[in-house]
Amino acid sequence: MTFLAIKVPKNKAESVRKRAEQIGAKDKERLITVEGNYVVIPILEEFAEEFSEFEIIEQENPLFARKRRLGDILKGRIPQELYRHIPRAYKILGDVILVKLSDEISAHAKEIGEALLELHPNCKSVWRDMGKSGALRKPKLEFLAGDVNAKETIKLENGCFFKFDVTKVMFASGNQHEKMRVAKLIREGEVVVDMFAGIGYFSIPIAKHSKAEKIYAIEINPDSYFYLLENMKLNAIDNIIPILGDSKYVTPERVADRVIMGHINCHEFIDVAINALRDKGIIHYHEAVPLAVKNRPIERLKNAAKKLDREIKILDYKKVKNYSPGVVHVVVDAYVV
């Protein structure tokens, strides 16, 4: 499950808490906590857009106010020595639950799936998340409980609807704040190229929350492309130009004011992104980078610009989220002339 919260300076915490409670955004199942000079106020995912002026974080180990948890439901259903392997977190995507299980508890996957449906009776199915496969990063899922045909779901995020089939398409939920940050940076009349559009993770919020003239949304995976088209209809959007194909070969040149490179392994495409810009423009470049070589994304951008006889200025470099031990997902905002 994705647990979102607002990270607010202490001097603004009380007013934000009252506002969250007044509009029904505060998650009553989690407790407010303090982190240094900040107060962390848990909110329901669909209200994240209402607090976009603050940092929206994803809590890995939230404190719950309610007593009934997954472990409570599973008491007596699995051996006591396995309690410590009960998953502490899982994802709820619309009305579908995805959960990762360790090998130690995998023999009781069905019991865990059924318990999750008891805990979340509005959900229709539970699937074991076993990672991604292939260049298209197709989800590897195992059905656990509920309706096996309940694969397609609709998730509300940042005021946008995202329809997708969990068995065909991964949903990138960990960078929700980054999607809105970019949408708010876009000035009226800009042309944007989204080189790795997926089902519209960046393109849909940009179309809905900015005054961009047009967005070229490029996606290589036919399943993701299908749902990109579906989500354009679902959100009543008419300024996205969808393109099916490999962005290395189908990205239009000299059209963009801004290019989004939202894939964490796309350094070989930097030259394509630069060539997509007009005489000048901004690139938002994402990368999964080991902390030991944290300047690698900047160096890659500078080297690619130099080869194309362009100049580059780094506007921002920030962490999006943790990726794995010692590795972080970062984004670099670079101005190219």
- Condensed to tens digits (0 to 9), the pLDDT of residues 260-273 reads 999 999 999 999 99
Full residue range of the structural domain in which residue 51 is found: 4-58
Same-domain pairing of 80 and 53: no
Last residue of a domain, one of 95, 118, 150: 150
Distance CA 316, CA 206 (A): 19
H, E, C per residue of the chain:
CCCEEEEEEHHHHHHHHHHHHHCCCECCCECCEEECCEEEEEECHHHHHHHCCCEEEECCCCCECCCCCHHHHHECCECHHHHHHCCCCCEEECCEEEECCCHHHHHHHHHHHHHHHHHCCCCCEEEEEEEEECCCCEEEEEEEEECCCCCEEEEEECCEEEEEECCCCCCCCCCHHHHHHHHHHCCCCCEEEECCCCCCCCHHHHHHHCCCCEEEEEECCHHHHHHHHHHHHHCCCCCEEEEECCHHHHCCCCCEEEEEECCCCCHHHHHHHHHHEEEEEEEEEEEEEEHHHCCHHHHHHHHHHHHCCCCEEEEEEEEEEEEECCEEEEEEEEEEC
Query: Mean pLDDT throughout 29-42?
Result: 92
Number of domains in the chain: 3
Distance CA 280, CA 334 (A): 11
Same-domain pairing of 188 and 330: yes
- Asked if the structure places residue 24 within a domain, the reply is yes
Same-domain pairing of 253 and 309: yes
Distance CA 150, CA 153 (A): 8
Query: Mean pLDDT throughout 251-255?
Result: 98
Last residue of a domain, one of 115, 150, 185: 150
Query: Mean pLDDT throughout 312-317?
Result: 96
- Asked if the structure places residue 304 within a domain, the reply is yes
- Asked if the structure places residue 63 within a domain, the reply is no
Cβ atoms within 10 Å, residue 102: 11
Same-domain pairing of 178 and 29: no
Residues 6+ apart with CB under 8 A from 17: 26, 32, 39, 41
Query: Mean pLDDT throughout 279-290?
Result: 96
Question: What's the pLDDT band for 321 if we cut at 50, 70, 90?
Answer: confident
Q: What percent of the chain has pLDDT over 70?
A: 98
Last residue of a domain, one of 150, 179, 205: 150
pLDDT at 22: 85
Residues 6+ apart with CB under 8 A from 219: 196, 197, 198, 225, 228, 242, 243, 244
What's the CA dihedral at 146, 151, 152, 155 to 10 degrees? 70
pLDDT at 64: 78
Q: What percent of the chain has pLDDT over 90?
A: 76
pLDDT digits (tens, 9 = 90+) for 162-200: 999 999 998 877 677 889 899 999 999 999 999 999 999
Report the largest interatomic distance among the alpha carbons of the chain, rounded to a whole angstrom. 67
Q: Which domain CATH number covers 48?
A: 3.30.70.2580
Cβ atoms within 10 Å, residue 151: 17
Q: Which domain CATH number covers 129?
A: 3.30.300.110
- Asked if the structure places residue 165 within a domain, the reply is no
pLDDT at 46: 78
Task: List phi, psi (to 5°) of 295.
Answer: -85, 0
- Asked if the structure places residue 238 within a domain, the reply is yes
Same-domain pairing of 189 and 246: yes
- Asked if the structure places residue 157 within a domain, the reply is no
Same-domain pairing of 123 and 182: no
Residue found under tokens 């362009």: 310
- Asked if the structure places residue 163 within a domain, the reply is no
Q: Which domain CATH number covers 305?
A: 3.40.50.150
Query: Mean pLDDT throughout 13-25?
Result: 90
- Asked if the structure places residue 65 within a domain, the reply is no
What's the CA dihedral at 117, 137, 191, 253 to 10 degrees? -170
Give the CA distances from residue 174 to residues 98, 214, 297, in Å, rounded to whole numbers and listed in that order. Answer: 14, 26, 20
Give the mean pLDDT of the chain: 93
Distance CA 144, CA 113 (A): 5
pLDDT digits (tens, 9 = 90+) for 66-85: 556 898 899 889 999 999 99
Distance CA 206, CA 181 (A): 10
Q: Is the pLDDT of residue 41 over 80?
A: yes
Same-domain pairing of 180 and 260: yes
Query: Mean pLDDT throughout 208-217?
Result: 97
Same-domain pairing of 76 and 47: no
Same-domain pairing of 179 and 320: yes
DSSP bridge partners of 146 = 125
Same-domain pairing of 229 and 137: no
Same-domain pairing of 274 and 178: yes
CB 237 within 8 A of CB 213: no
pLDDT at 66: 57
pLDDT at 89: 84
Same-domain pairing of 196 and 279: yes
